[in-house]
Chain A
Amino acid sequence: MATTQAAPAATPSADDSRRKLSELPWPELASTLGLIALAVIFAIANPGYLSEGNVSAILQAAAILIVLTIGQTFVVATGGIDLSVASTMTLGAIVLGEFYALGWNIWLAALAGLVAATLVGVVNGLVISKGGITDFIVTLGTLSAASGLALIIADGKKTTVIEPSLIKLSVNGIWLFSWAVIIALGLAVIAHVVLFHTRFGVHVLAIGGSAESSRSLGIRVWMVKTGVYVISAALAGVAALLVVARVGAAEPAANTAFLLNSVAAVVLGGVSLFGGRATIAAPVMGAILLTALVNGLTRVGLSEFYQPLTVGVVVVLAAFLTRFNR
């Protein structure tokens, strides 16, 4: 996956190259450079960190976060935020589990979960764009409402979903990449094309830049705004399938850490929280970085009490890189 900001070619003059360096898109490069630095540090501290098996494990663990991060990127690119992604994913997983328990084919059940999750996005989008209520409040509301719905539908209980084809999804694959990872990266490629090579993508970034001038240019802002929340929620529906495949069950009250991590990955990816500036590749790298960080900390035996602290420090430091960019 290439970003649109390609690094300029090296020039012979030292003075010239220094000037070129300052023109590099540092915020977008932060997550990739951070990932490389992390890989070097952990590879020194813990031989075997870069072994095929471990790299594959990191990617596998990152797949769910990558999918959620892509959706979050679209929303943040318009200057919004989707706080409901993790609970939308949980709702999708529960709906999947309920239909599976009724004897539906697993893929049909997954489709039902996807539809349920997408509906949350439709509600988010319409209330925000048509209702004129702040995205923060609306998605905070759906965060609670979606997890509440999940608890009601599931009656507070988890549904075991053990299906050979689902196990294959996260165990089989090509070389380092399990099918779940391939799905996540495939979605990233599609998202990149949508963001940079379609009219919709241009409008997303334009609205993030300035909703007012976009409106005066004739862009139907409400449709684009609704669109990004629907994308985010639909991707949460895909993530629901991946999470059920990973833990073998649909659980109504689980995995709340994904919300903060998806926002953190977007920040690491240099996406402006005010909107208007975004890539897909950099936040995806950010998601992999966060996962690789926790994997490495686990391998060197750092207590889980220190892990959230470390992740927080890294996210804030990455935000500094964005801050110093003009």
Chain B
Amino acid sequence: MQFRTRAATGALAALSVVALAGCGEDPQSGTGTDGGSSFGAVIKGLDNPFFQQMEQGIDAQAQDSGVDIEIQAAASITDTSGQADKLDAMAQQGFDCYVVNPISGTNLVQGLARIAAEGTPVVNIDSPVEADAASKAGLEISTYIGTDNVEAGQKAGETMLEALGGSGDVALVGGISGDVTSGARLDGFTQAVQGKLNIVQTVAADWDRQIALTKATDILSANPDIKGFFAANDDMAIGIARAVANAGRAGEIPIIGVDGIEDALKAVEAGDMYATVAQYPYAIGEMGVQACQKATDGGDLPENVVAPTAVVTKDNAGEALEAFPAPFEEFENPLE
């Protein structure tokens, strides 16, 4: 009797695995027997809208061009080893090309090196694989597609110059201190405003809305003459906007962010933020698939492809929201 219960439990366990596995898409043949190519994509965690849009872009482009795509994402933004496990599992299925957005510069290097060694193209999107690590592992990336963060910072700087009429005190709010992306955006901004605007303070707010609110409140009380804020991402810019509103100076102090998340586009439309430099994870995803197609068709790929960015102000915020998450203006695409 007791054994029967156990057997039933075991059968139940087996069944539930089958049932849950059945929720997935059809198993990948991976070998392209149906004539079309099949690509594999490994991206970061889908708990972030940025990567959800990237997934949408990858899916849309794959459907558009009639290729099979299998997309896997990491469990979270810190799941470096789990993402490597997922890539390894997919690497064994022999896709014709791989699109990857690694969590860190090194976590996928080993798996990618093995894929590339077999002559399969690897397209790196968004977060770059560390060049030093790649060369030590003998990994050659077919192409890299991502936002030029220095350029994004420059665009923000130029927009700030316009907003302030060419002079004034500004404060910069960066992400986690020492972060490469944050550093590049702040550098770009600084280059653009050099000799014109006076940067009185640079703080790190860890990409976090709440921390940015606190730090901006402190900056505002210490420097009442502040004329503008630049934040390295939109979440922090929204936090700063709240701090400015709390200080009773809403609309007086221009705030510029980077990313172009939906909340920020709405804040720009409402006048809480002056502008955002939008980047397009959706377009980056699309371009990743396009690059894979080009590579499998035997075409030449540029080593680097700069993904589009666009300045969104009150004038075009409505347009940007309507097209969201796709870019609202045409951009030059060397992969098309």
A residues near B (Cβ < 8 Å) are 18, 21-22, 26, 33-34, 37-38, 41-42, 45-48, 51, 53-54, 57-58, 60-61, 64, 155-158, 160, 162, 164, 167, 170-171, 243, 246-249, 251, 253-257, 291, 293-310, 313-314, 317-318, 320-321, 324
Contact = CB atoms under 8 A, between A and B. Distances in A.
Given A160-B106, A167-B136, A301-B70, 13 more contacts: A37-B13, A45-B27, A48-B92, A162-B106, A162-B133, A171-B110, A251-B104, A254-B78, A255-B81, A310-B20, A313-B20, A317-B12, A321-B6
A324 B110 contact: no
A22 B2 contact: yes
Contacts of A324: 2, 5-6, 9
B75 A307 contact: yes
Contacts of B166: none
Contact of A41 (B17, B28, B80, B133): B17
Question: Which of A38, A58, A309, A320 has most chain B Cβ within 10 Å?
Answer: A320
A33 B136 CA distance: 41
Secondary structure type dominating chain A contacts: helix
B304 interface: no
A83 B113 CA distance: 35
Contacts of A320: 9
B88 A61 contact: yes
Interface of B: 2-3, 5-6, 9-10, 12-14, 16-18, 20-21, 23-28, 30, 45-46, 70, 72-75, 78-82, 84-86, 88-93, 104-107, 109-110, 113-114, 130, 132-133, 136-137, 176-178
A50 to B, nearest CB: 11
Contact of B93 (A162, A299, A306): A299
A318 B26 CA distance: 27
Nearest to B3: A22
Contacts of A33: 10
27 contacts: A22-B2, A42-B21, A46-B27, A46-B28, A57-B85, A57-B89, A57-B91, A61-B89, A157-B176, A162-B130, A247-B80, A247-B106, A254-B79, A256-B78, A257-B79, A291-B85, A293-B17, A294-B82, A294-B89, A299-B89, A299-B93, A304-B45, A304-B46, A308-B75, A310-B20, A321-B6, A321-B9
Given A251-B80, A253-B78, A299-B93, A160 B133 contact: yes
Contacts of A296: 21
Given A22-B2, A160-B106, A324-B2, A317 B85 contact: no
A38 B84 contact: no
Contacts of A38: 17
A255 B79 contact: yes
A26 B6 contact: yes
Given A254-B78, A255-B79, A302 B20 contact: yes
Contacts of B78: 251, 253-256
Nearest to B21: A300
A310 B92 CA distance: 22
Contacts of B20: 297, 302, 306, 309-310, 313
A304 B81 CA distance: 14
Contact of B75 (A34, A54, A257, A317): A257
Contacts of B84: 61, 246-247
Contact of B46 (A164, A297, A305): A305
A37 B106 contact: no
Contacts of A26: 6
Given A256-B78, A306-B20, A317-B12, A248 B109 contact: yes
Contacts of A243: 81
Contacts of A321: 6, 9-10
B85 A294 contact: yes
B10 A304 contact: no
Question: Which of A164, A249, A314, A321 has most chain B Cβ within 10 Å?
Answer: A249
A64 B81 contact: yes
A170 B111 CA distance: 10
Given A296-B21, A301-B27, A303-B24, A247 B90 contact: no
A247 B107 contact: yes
Contacts of B24: 297, 300-303, 306
A170 B5 CA distance: 42
A9 to B, nearest CB: 18
B80 A254 contact: yes
Contacts of A251: 78, 80, 104
A321 B178 CA distance: 50
Contacts of A51: 92
A136 B177 CA distance: 34
Contacts of B74: 304
A162 B132 contact: yes
Contacts of B85: 57, 61, 291, 294-295, 298
